[in-house]
Amino acid sequence: MKTKLWITGLAMATAMSATAPVMAEGEVYIPMPVYRVGPYATGGTGYFGGIIDYYTLMNMTEGGVGGMKIIWNECETNYNDQKGVECYHRQKEFQGKQALFFDPLSVGISTSLVAQGRKDKIAIIAVNHGRTEGQRGDVFPYYFMPGINTYDEHSIITAYIGELEGGMENLAGKKIVLLFHGSTYGREAVEFTHMLCEKHNCSSEAIEVPHPGNEQTSQWLKIRRSKPDYVVLRGWGVMNPVAMQTGVRMGFPISNLIGNIWSNDDGDVKPAGSSANGYQAITTHPTGRVATVIDEIVAKLYDQGQGDLEDKSRIGSNYWNLGVMAGVIHLEAVRVAQARFGADVNSAQVRWGFENLNLDTARLTELGANGLVPEIKTNCMDHVGGHQAKFMRWVYAETKWEVASDWIDGDVELSQAIIDAKAENAIANEGITPRDCNDPAQRDDFDV
């Protein structure tokens, strides 16, 4: 594991390409709250590595974003809520520039910063996760979860289990165990999983795995006694391969262990060896070199001996692809803001950019990201904008994932009812005055 100290995108791009075009004198600053060490390093190095590689490519080929060089600096969070909040306060200004947004890839860190981000007018980004009621942009204007939210994710998993059983009506009488990481992130799905089973006449049980999850014998003994039809793995880091290995050792069929969005990386299945063969997991994006932007990163960075990943075999892996996807979303929000406000945008203006994303197929093709990034369209009332996912299956003998389903929609009706109830509770208990998204003056006011 390499050590990184205060690396800036400007310095990296300059070192890599002295002839990179300079299209404007200005710079924009984006924090990089990484976790490169500890039990969750696989996710952190992949995700932030993908973001850094995309930013570096844009600095090299386009002079940054809208002609503004992208600079960043790293702060190690260790995937720890307190350290993540400390990183936010250290990183919200750098070299006299305010952060345009803050993306920590952590439910605990991001939810801890909801109020602070609004106070500072800095958007908090939680790709494919987060405080689910944060979807309501009228209540949480500075919180964004582009892709899918937790309720989308678990309703899609339930729908996929229904497909495996030959129809949703066949879920009646089935038993589903949610094996979840002992954290804010893990607990976010417990209540909703029970509600899904109430709706579809199945039964559910939630079993917690304490951080970091490298010992699960007691949990799987409980599962063996419970005899569920399916186990949904809401894992993270080392917890995932341990779940596969322990489950197989206890006699549970691996094909009936269904992983969530943070249990679907090469780094989750490879350490489990043959125990992972046939394991299935949800994803918002495919693995592999599936888009021209990835080919460009490889050609211009990795083939030149550069790039953030130490292990080139991780190019195209799930977390790295997710990081490239996040980079595309990040900079598109900046571009949307620049189109309205000019090249030198501030954090409140970029918040408006995140709220007005329209990443349709045509735009994704222009960006070279079609095939990697799902269509995302956000608005004042919807700070998620995707709500679809696929499933993939691990093929051990070929060391690769194969697509296991078409796009599946989330149960928006059920999830929206809970989101609305939680949002109303936040209004009542957190002193929030919501915007009226039907009022153009309030909806289009960027500085809320």
pLDDT per residue, tens digit, the chain (448 aa), is 333 333 344 333 333 333 333 334 599 999 999 999 998 999 999 999 999 999 999 999 999 999 999 999 999 999 999 999 999 999 999 999 999 999 999 999 999 999 999 999 999 999 999 999 999 999 999 999 999 999 999 999 999 999 999 999 999 999 999 999 999 999 999 999 999 999 999 999 999 999 999 999 999 999 999 999 999 999 999 999 999 999 999 999 999 999 999 999 999 999 999 999 999 999 999 899 999 999 999 999 999 999 999 999 999 999 999 999 999 999 999 999 999 999 999 999 999 999 999 999 999 999 999 999 999 999 999 999 999 999 999 999 999 999 999 999 999 899 999 999 999 999 999 999 999 999 999 999 999 9
Whether domain 150-283 has CATH 3.30.300.30: the reply is no
* Topology (CATH) of 9-148+287-386+427-443: Rossmann fold (3.40.50)
Task: Locate CATH 3.40.50.2300 in the chain.
Answer: 9-148+287-386+427-443, 150-283
pLDDT score at 150: 95
Q: How far is CA 255 from the centre of its chain?
A: 24
8 Å CB contact between 117 and 109: no
pLDDT score at 12: 37
Task: Return the residue matching tokens 């900079």.
Answer: 331
For 292-341, the pLDDT digits (tens) are 999 999 999 999 999 999 999 999 999 999 999 999 999 999 999 999 99
Phi, psi of 184 (to 5 degrees): -55, -45
pLDDT score at 8: 41
pLDDT score at 25: 59
Q: SS3 letters for the chain?
A: CCCCCCCCHHHHHHHHCCCCCCCCCCEEECCEEECCCCCCHHHHHHHHHHHHHHHHHHHHHHCCECCEEEECCEEECCCCHHHHHHHHHHHCEECCEECCEECCCCHHHHHHCHHHHHHHCCEEECCCCCCHHHHCCCCCCCEECCECCHHHHHHHHHHHHHHHCCCHHHHCCCEEEEEEECCHHHHCCHHHHHHHHHHHCCEEEEEEECCCCCCCHHHHHHHHHHCCCEEEEECCCCHHHHHHHHHHHCCCCHHHEEECCCCCCHHHHHHHHHHHCCCEEEECCCCCCCCHHHHHHHHHCHHHCCCCCCCHHHCCCHHHHHHHHHHHHHHHHHHHHHHHHCCCCCHHHHHHHHHCCEECHHHHHHCCCCCCCCCEECECCECCECCEEEEEEEEHHHCEEEECCCCEECCHHHHHHHHHHHHHHHHHHCCCCCCCCCCHHHHCCCCC
Residue type, 445: D
For 384-435, the pLDDT digits (tens) are 999 999 999 999 999 999 999 999 999 989 999 999 999 999 999 999 999 9
pLDDT score at 13: 38
Alpha-carbon distance of 61 to 390, in angstroms, equals: 32
pTM: 0.90
